[in-house]
Structure 1
C-alpha cells in the first residue's frame, strides 16, 4: 500500500513547496515527464503502444528467414525443396493445436504478462536452436528450432492483441490494430531485404560460404527476438504498475473456447474456413519459394529477387488499415473477398504464363492480400453467435495452419519433380476453388432470403413463424 500511495502521489501535480525545491526544472519539462509516467495519459499509452508494436517485430522478422535465405539454405545444408519447405511446415504444426489453447493459457494459466514473456522466450530459444542447426550442419536441429519457434510465434500474436485491447479498448483500438499489423509487415519486409546482404557480409568476414556462415547469419538475425523479449519484460512492468495505480484488471483474450461448439457450426462458416485455407496456401508458400522463382525465370539478382518477393508485405503495411476502413464504410464483405480472389488469380496467371515485369503481378498480389484479410475475417462474426466467436476464430486459425503445413510440403514436392510452372498451376487451382466456395455462400444466402420472403408472403409479418429470435427480443 505504501508503494502504491507513493506512485500515486508522484503523479499528482506538485505543491508549492515542491515547486520551490524544483525551481530549476522548467514547467514544460516537468509536465512532459509527468505525462510519460502517468498510465492514464496519452503520452504514457503511446510508449506502451511502441512496445506493443516491437513486441511482435522479432517473430515476424524471423518467420521468413528461410524465404530470405532460400538459396543459401538449400546449398549450404544440401537439401532439396521438399525438405526446405519443412521449415515452414514445422512452424505450422504446433499451431494446429495452440490456436485453441493459446488464449486459454494466457487467461487461466500464465496471465497476460507471464504468458507474453514465456512465448517470447520460446521465440528466442527457437531461433537460437534454428541457428545452431546451421552452425553444426544438422538440418534436423533446424527443424526442431522452427517447431519451438512456432510454439511461441502465434501465441505471442494473441498476447499482443490482448495487450492492445487492455490498454486501448474504447479509445483508438482499430488504429492500434492497424499499426501493429503494419509493424509486423515491416518486420517481414526488413527480413527479406536484409538477410541476404547480412549473409554476404558474414561470408566476407569468415572467408567462405557454408553452413557456418548460414548459422552465424541466423544467429545475428535472432537479435530481433531478444528485442521482442525486452519489450515483453517492459510491458509486463508497465502493465503491473498501471494495475496498481489505476486499479485495473489484467487483460483477457476474450476467447471462450468450447470444442463442443464445432458441431453447431453452420455451413456458411465451414465455407468461410475453406476460403481461408484455399487462399492463404497460395500466398505464404509462394512467398517462401519466391526468391528462386524470380531469379530463375526473370533473371533478377539475389538482392532484387528478395526486394520483389517482399512487395506483398510492403504494400500490406500501409494498405491494411486503409482497406479495413473501406470495408467498414461500405460493407459488402463477400464482394470485396471476390474482388481480392479475382485479383490474386490474375496475379498468379501473369506470373505463370507471361514474362511481364513481375512487379505488376506482385503489387496486385499485395493489394489483394490486404483486401481479403480485411474482408474475410470479420465475416465470421456475421454467421456465428457471439459466444461461439472464440471457438470459431480458433478453429479458423487451426485449419489455416494445418493447410499451410500440408501445402508447404506438397509445394516443395511439386517444385522438386515438376518445376515452377506446375507449382503456379497448383496455386491457380487453389485460388480457383475459392470461386466455387463463394458461389456456394451466395447461393445459400439467396435460398435463405427466398425462404424468408415466401414465409412473409404466406403467413404475414405478424405471424410467429416468420419471427426470428432477434425479432421477438
Structure 2
C-alpha cells in the first residue's frame, strides 16, 4: 500500500513540468487524475473485486490486485517515456495524456481492490482486539507513500535531467530538461517490491489458519453458478438496504474528495498562491501525510479503548471545512499559513479514516465485508474521478489569461485558486451534515459506533 499510494500522487508535484515539457493544460491534468476512477466506476471493476474477495479469499485477491498495479504502472511509465506521443492525438485527446490515463486507470483497479483486501485482512487478524489501531498503522505506512510522492518527484526529475537544444528568439539554446519518467520508474520498482512482499504475507496467513485449525477460512466449498449468483444478490441486497452503509459511503466520498484531489493540486497551489519555488513546493503538502504517521494509530487506539467513532468523524469533517475555507481566502498568502493549514488538514486526514473504516465491520457482517468495502470504494471513486476533473476545468475557466499567454508564447501569469478551494469547502460542509446523520442513525440502530472496539 505504501508503493500504491506513492504512485497515486507521484504526478502531483510534476504538474508544472507536465505543462512546460509536454504541453499539458490544467484540463489535461484533470483528465489524467480523473482516470483513477474510469474503470472502477464505469466498468464496476471495484465491485467485482469485492465480490471476488468475499468468494475467493484475501490471498487470491491480493495477489491479483498487486499484479494489476504493476501492469498499470508500467503502461504509465511507457507513456511518459515515449517521445512520439507528444504530438499525436487519440479520440481528440493528447496521446500522452490518453495512454498515461489508461495506465493510471488500470493501476487504480489494482490499488483500490488491494485497499479493500487489506481492510478485510486486518479485520480477520484483529477483530475484537486493536482493530482500529491496526488499521491506523496500515494507513500510516500508506500515507508515508503519499508524503514521499509529494516531496521526492521534483528532486528525482531534476537529478536525472538531461540537456536538449531548443530554439529561442531564432537562436539555438541548450536547456536542462527534467526527467519526468524518473519518479515513475522509482514507483514501478517499489510496486514490484510490494508484489513480492505479498507472497511473504500469504505464507504468514496460511500459518495463521493452521494455528487456528481453520483450514476452510480461505477455501470455500464449491458452489453451483445458481447458488453463487443467489449468494451475490443476497449480499448486495442486504448491504444496499442498510441506511448506515449509505451514510458511511457518502461520508467517505465527501471526505476523500475534499482531501486527495486537493493533494493532486496542492503543490501547484503552493507555487501560485504562496509564491514558493517549484522544487520545494511539494514539501509543504508533504507535511500532510507526515502527521498521519503518528496520529492515525493514536486516534485508532482511542476508538479501540474509548469509542466515540461517529464523533471523531464529525470533528475531522469540521477541520476540513475550516482549512479549505481559509485556503480559499484571497488574503493570508504567507507560506507559514500554508504550513499550519496543511498540518491541521493532516489531523483531519488522521481523524476520519481512523474511525470510519473500523466502523464498517460494526454495520456489515464479516462475510459481506469485501463486497461492502468495494461498494464504498466504488462510490468514493466517483468523487476521486469527478472532482479532479472538475477542479482542472474550473481552474482553466477561472484563469483564461493563462491559456491565452501559453498560446501567444508570453509570460504565463499565476493561477487564481479561489474557486477550486470553494468547491473543497463545500464538500467539507456536506461531510459535517452526513457525519451528524450517521451519529443519529447509530443512536437509533445501536451499531456501537460510539462504543470501544476492544471487547473485554
- The alpha-carbon deviation at position 184 of structure 1 amounts to 0.6
- Preserved contact between residue 281 and residue 407 of structure 1 (Cα < 8 Å): yes
The counterpart of 2:24, out of the listed 79, 83, 97, is: 79
Name the CA shift for 1:370/1:151 in 2 (closer, same or farther; >3 Å).
same
User: What is the root-mean-square deviation in Å for CA atoms of aligned residues?
Assistant: 3.2
Give the greater-gyration-radius structure (CA).
1
Partner residue in 2 for 1:52: none
* Per-residue deviation, residues 296-316 of structure 1 (Å, max 9, x unmatched): 111112233211112221111
The counterpart of 2:64, out of the listed 118, 122, 133, is: 118
Distance 1:86 1:77 in 2: 15
Name the CA shift for 1:341/1:305 in 2 (closer, same or farther; >3 Å).
same
Partner residue in 2 for 1:261: 238
- Preserved contact between residue 6 and residue 145 of structure 2 (Cα < 8 Å): yes
1:292 lines up with 2:258 in the alignment: no
1:105 lines up with 2:52 in the alignment: yes
Distance 1:434 1:341 in 2: 6
Partner residue in 2 for 1:230: 196
Distance 1:440 1:247 in 2: 42
Q: Which moved more, 1:386-395 or 1:153-162?
A: 386-395
- Preserved contact between residue 159 and residue 253 of structure 1 (Cα < 8 Å): no
- The alpha-carbon deviation at position 380 of structure 1 amounts to 4.3
- Preserved contact between residue 122 and residue 134 of structure 2 (Cα < 8 Å): yes
- Preserved contact between residue 77 and residue 139 of structure 1 (Cα < 8 Å): no
Distance 1:253 1:200 in 2: 49
Name the CA shift for 1:438/1:297 in 2 (closer, same or farther; >3 Å).
same
Partner of 2:418, secondary structure, is helix
TM-score w.r.t. the length of structure 2 is 0.75
The counterpart of 1:192, out of the listed 108, 130, 150, is: 150
Relative contact order higher in (CA < 8 Å, ≥ 6 apart):
2
Name the CA shift for 1:416/1:103 in 2 (closer, same or farther; >3 Å).
same
Pairs within 5 Å for 1:273-312: 273-312=249-288
Partner residue in 2 for 1:214: 180
Distance 1:427 1:129 in 2: 31
Name the CA shift for 1:391/1:232 in 2 (closer, same or farther; >3 Å).
closer
Distance 2:309 2:132 in 1: 18
* Count of matched residue pairs: 389
* Per-residue deviation, residues 391-429 of structure 1 (Å, max 9, x unmatched): 443322211111221112111111111141011111111
Partner of 1:409, secondary structure, is helix
Pairs within 5 Å for 1:124-135: 124-135=70-81
- Preserved contact between residue 343 and residue 368 of structure 1 (Cα < 8 Å): yes
Distance 1:151 1:179 in 2: 23
Partner residue in 2 for 1:375: 355
- Unmatched segments (≥5 aa) in structure 1: 1-55, 450-473
Partner residue in 2 for 1:411: 391
1:346 lines up with 2:322 in the alignment: yes
- Preserved contact between residue 30 and residue 393 of structure 2 (Cα < 8 Å): no
TM-score w.r.t. the length of structure 1 is 0.73
Pairs within 5 Å for 1:356-395: 356=334, 357-381=337-361, 390-395=370-375
Distance 2:292 2:40 in 1: 23
